[in-house]
Amino acid sequence: MDERGPLCVGIDPHAALLEGWGLGDDVAGLERFTRTVVDALADRVAVFKPQSAFFERFGSRGVAVLEQAVADARSAGALVLMDAKRGDIGSTMAAYAAAYLDRRSPLFSDAVTLSPYLGFGSLRPALDTARANGAGVFVLALTSNPEGPEVQRAAAADGRTVAQVVLDHLATENAGAEPLGSFGAVVGATLGEADAELAMGGPLLAPGLGAQGAGPEDLPRVFGDALRNVLPTVSRAVLRHGPEAAALRAAADAETDALVAVLG
């Protein structure tokens, strides 16, 4: 982020975007879309966030496109955050960790999104695998969807919100790391007020910019003293400018400039 600017670009090849690019809603369209985005932006954006579901819907051929995109993006110097939102227990969680966080996997990514709602302790296999492989995780804490508060704002037995419990667990995982730990949280830019202690020693992935209604100017109010640790993510605000590579680059540069003006 210091070298390339504070921007994460989502790779979300849903049917409407493929159609908007004049591509078919099929594996060929998926591959053309994904390759164009990576080729245009991998040498300039800090992070890509491919949404695994949009590749999985095409089966093994779609996953093959995802594997190639991960490899190409990382070889060009971009970090890859796999947006898979995995969460399970025991050997199943360990298998998810091996898929995304073990360097021997063809889907190895620099980080993966995780869901903690089987209990934070259920994520231990992923946390340990990330630590062993120089990777990281982003755990859902305060998400940008309107349904999130019914779980995330609920009170735990000690009076803390569920979201704060998650954030406090992450603070423990990051203890002693400099300048930041590798265990981050997902906190939506649309919240208005976070009402939580966000300075937990790790990065904060901020969805909700652009199509979901938030703008860079909303970030200081949501994140406060933790603003320097924010990784804002946009998808459609950049992707809708394709398929021309120059237009994608111009859109990404404009988003980066707007974020730098707020985040520094």
Kindly report, residue by residue over 164-202, the tens digit of the pLDDT.
999 999 999 999 999 999 999 999 999 988 899 999 999
Region at 156 (left for phi over 0; alpha for psi -120 to 50; beta for the rest): beta
Task: Give tens-digit pLDDT for 232-255.
Answer: 999 999 999 999 999 999 999 999
Kindly state whether residue 12 falls inside one of the protein's structural domains. yes
Give DSSP secondary structure letters for 73-94: HHHTT-EEEEEEEE---HHHHH
Q: Is residue 230 part of a domain?
A: yes
Distance CA 104, CA 172 (A): 28
Within-domain flag for 68: yes
Question: How many separate domains does the chain show?
Answer: 1
- The 10s digit of each residue's pLDDT in 39-95 is 999 999 999 999 999 999 999 999 999 999 999 999 999 999 999 999 999 999 999
Q: Taking the CB of residue 51, how many other CB atoms lie within 10 A of it?
A: 19
Residue for token pair 């992450």:
170
How far is the C-alpha of 4 from the C-alpha of 139, rounded, in Å? 24
Decide if 2 is inside a domain. no
CATH number at residue 234: 3.20.20.70
What pLDDT score was predicted for residue 193? 87
Q: Residue 222: which of 175, 185, 254 has the closest Cα?
A: 185
Does residue 242 belong to any structural domain of this protein?
Answer: yes
Within-domain flag for 3: no
Any domain includes 96? yes
Q: Alpha helix (H) ranges present in 111-191? A: 124-132, 149-152, 162-174
Which residues form the catalytic set? 85
Question: Which 3 state secondary structure label does DSSP give 114?
Answer: strand
Whether pLDDT at 264 is above 90 = no
Q: pTM of the entire structure?
A: 0.96
Type of residue found at 204: L
Alpha-carbon distance values, 69 to 1, 92, 229 (Å): 20, 25, 26
How many residues comprise the chain?
A: 264
Domain residues for the domain of 37 are 8-263
Residue 154 inside a domain? The answer is yes
